[in-house]
Structure 1
Amino acid sequence: MTVSLPSAPEGEDRMTSFTPVQAAAMRRALRVAASPDAPPGPNPRVGCVILSADGDVLAEGHHRGAGTAHAEVDALANLAAAGASAQGATAVVTLEPCNHQGRTGPCVQALLAAGVAEVIYAQDDPTEQAGGGAATLEAAGVRVRCGLCAQDAACLNRPWLLAVTRGRPMVTWKLAATLDGRIAAADGTSQWITPVAARRDAHRLRRQCDAIMVGTGTALADDPALTVRDETGEPAPAHLQPLRVVVGSRRLPPTSRVLADDHHLLLPDHDPRAVLAVLAEREIRHVLLEGGPTLATAFLRAGLVDEVVAYTAPALLGAGPAALADFGATTITDALRLRNSRVEVLGSGDELAVRVSGDLGADDIRPDAPAVLRPRHRAQRPDPRDRTRPPAHRHIEERH
């Protein structure tokens, strides 16, 4: 996944002002930010490494989800637990330190209280309520520099960046199909089109998302659990499970696995924009679209699919439902072509599958773009991929 960044001024390398030690510290901060113990959620992934004046690593920390200590505070706490001081130290952080009181206190004040002399961060915080930390630090006499490993930090937080700049969750469409594009046989059977290696990879993809979405057709036909499971088939802990979202007006039987607990949402409205508006209100940042052709086509027609992940098995069916319905492409020039495509072979021999992924949208998302804080009350720029008419206002009901 990639995010466009502002180009450095002509003749200037954004990395030249940083030392190899600082660059290594930022790469370490990015690794700890991506720690698997941080569940998906409304907040960005952030890591922090504290360096001494001599460049030695004193401590590190990362954010573990909404309501927990931010990365800077976590690193400072680890430093204090080791009996060391941050006086005169450098904090290397993957995101501009926050400057507001939310579920936790402002990181800027924690850094100032600790006596940090310099802060190096990868990218600006585009949100109005949390941004401005750099200016506050500089006003207090702390040296502040930005831009180290900015592209890597933007990639790490692409769903969050898209959500706060566009006012809606990022949408990844995941499909599993045969070589001839069939997602099930003519009799409706589909388990399993792709081999074990592909299914394991799909669970890793689920783990990165806040919500998994299907339509009522898929829920009724397949009775999916829509859970994250490990390689042994055991469910991940409850706090790591995405919200299960079912779109459509058909009733599900109470025995449906998607209704197994309260961590689900039923949305009778089929309008993709209305659905994403509800999820945005719930602070969902990344949606994995796993529905059949009806739901996938609706989101593609609306220009609301940002990423595609396709698992292709070396098999042919010749009949059965296709992955997509008509989304408005009448000639080859209308084809939606992936950007930044990646291809990976999963498994081997008869248990082989090919994973193709790439981007469809969000090419204009930039880490320095202003945030959309109240998407319901802000006009959204039309997406050039939108092949639908503007929808009439619809009321969405939620059922639990």
Structure 2
Amino acid sequence: MRRAFALAAQGPERGINPRVGCVILSPDGRTLAEGFHRGAGTAHAEVDALSRLAPGAASGATAVVSLEPCNHTGRTGPCAEALIAAGIARVVYTVADPGEASSGGAERLRAAGVEVAGGVLVADGEALLDDWLVAARLGRPVVTVKWASTLDGRAAAADGSSQWITGPEARADVHRERAAADAIIAGIGTVLADDPALTARTPDGRPLPRQPRPVVVGHRPVPDDAAVRRHPLPLTTLPGDDLAAELAGLHREGVRSVFVEGGPALASSIVRAGLADRLLVYLAPALLGGPRTALDALGVTSIDEAIRYRFTEVVPLGADLKITARPEGAR
């Protein structure tokens, strides 16, 4: 199975489809073929591995796969059917496919007389699939809410100035985080006030190879001359009336992770709605005081109603701290 994980890791880290690896073993344990998924529209890992064998060579063999074989027809056919047709006798996998359309491969295999064993090295399998798996279970992208603040929780000074609360190391890390997301979301208030480009850049301003899709939330129009309109990817605008439904719509369009960097109003709306899967806070050793807090009202009126998160990582970045937190009970 660990070899299947290593194969899967060769596939694209982000995308509509998961990273999957497959190893075909002979009845005596020899490796007959290997395969992995190279991205949307290409052969799935099981089919990729089977394609490397002569007809009939997989009869009686075992397929070790890093995700339950799919059971639906999309751009490619169902892997469960391909394994059955090849004469595979046993399938071993880690995590069950949570997709509404693609799940059920294990049941289909068993119905055809194939021996199936799931749940092998589940923690490793979930770590490999990461955001894709969580997004599939939620039916929406994984949401990271980011802000930079001082020790006293201020995101700007009383006059509204905020550049720069954190140092260059933290700012460079923010751009790496942006590049890792499928989309970056800002509120229209932030766009009108700060005119952000919503791109991922190097410290000297050069664009990183991978860019997040820009999304602006709010009813007011984005000006024609706004920097975000010069983004290399098309701009998406959302009203923000039903954030859960709008995020689900982005998921249907292939967005599996979003990076919310849109000011306290939007961040607070996301947190208040229970949609923040990850908080990313860059904490500067400074004090500003005043009214410009990192979050607005969350509907919490007493300490018993506090929205609890747990720290999963605290990393020094220059003079600042990068703090990652997830909701209590989340993975």
| TM-score under structure 2 length normalisation | 0.85
2:327 counterpart of 1:356: no
Contact conserved, 1:183 with 1:320, CA < 8 A, in 2?
Answer: no
Contact conserved, 1:306 with 1:362, CA < 8 A, in 2?
Answer: no
Check 1:88–1:199 CA distance in 2 against 1; reply closer, same or farther (3 A cut): farther
Tell me how far 1:57 sits from its aligned partner.
4.7
Give SS of 1:94's match: strand
Tell me how far 1:58 sits from its aligned partner.
5.0
Give SS of 2:64's match: strand
2:303 counterpart of 1:328: no
2:208 counterpart of 1:241: no
State the distance in 1 between where 2:19 and 2:83 align: 19
State the distance in 2 between where 1:243 and 1:361 align: 29
Q: Partner letter of residue 214 of structure 2?
A: R
The equivalent of 1:253 in structure 2 is 223
State the distance in 2 between where 1:218 and 1:57 align: 55
Q: Partner letter of residue 198 of structure 1?
A: A
Choose which of 265, 268, 275 in structure 1 pairs with 2:239. Answer: 268
Choose which of 84, 107, 119 in structure 1 pairs with 2:91. Answer: 119
Contact conserved, 1:305 with 1:361, CA < 8 A, in 2?
Answer: no
Contact conserved, 2:315 with 2:321, CA < 8 A, in 1?
Answer: yes
Q: Partner letter of residue 323 of structure 1?
A: A
Contact conserved, 2:33 with 2:53, CA < 8 A, in 1?
Answer: no
Choose which of 64, 72, 89 in structure 1 pairs with 2:46. Answer: 72
Structure 2 unaligned segments of length 5 or more: list them. Answer: none
Tell me how far 1:326 sits from its aligned partner.
1.2
Q: Partner letter of residue 343 of structure 1?
A: E
Tell me how far 1:53 sits from its aligned partner.
4.2
Contact conserved, 1:343 with 1:354, CA < 8 A, in 2?
Answer: no
% identical aligned pairs: 53
State the distance in 1 between where 2:198 and 2:32 align: 42
State the distance in 1 between where 2:34 and 2:225 align: 46
Check 1:345–1:66 CA distance in 2 against 1; reply closer, same or farther (3 A cut): same
Contact conserved, 1:345 with 1:352, CA < 8 A, in 2?
Answer: no
Q: Partner letter of residue 43 of structure 2?
A: A
Structure 1 unaligned segments of length 5 or more: list them. Answer: 1-25, 366-400
State the distance in 2 between where 1:28 and 1:353 align: 39
The equivalent of 1:312 in structure 2 is 283
State the distance in 1 between where 2:169 and 2:9 align: 22
The equivalent of 1:225 in structure 2 is 197
Q: Which moved more, 1:160-169 or 1:300-309?
A: 160-169
Q: Partner letter of residue 93 of structure 2?
A: Y
Aligned length: 330
| TM-score under structure 1 length normalisation | 0.72
Q: Partner letter of residue 359 of structure 1?
A: R
Q: Partner letter of residue 319 of structure 2?
A: L
The equivalent of 1:392 in structure 2 is none
Contact conserved, 2:214 with 2:233, CA < 8 A, in 1?
Answer: no
* Larger RCO of the pair (alpha carbons < 8 Å, separation 6+): 1
Tell me how far 1:103 sits from its aligned partner.
1.1
Give SS of 1:122's match: strand
The equivalent of 1:337 in structure 2 is 308
Tell me how far 1:97 sits from its aligned partner.
0.5
State the distance in 2 between where 1:277 and 1:202 align: 25
2:4 counterpart of 1:33: no
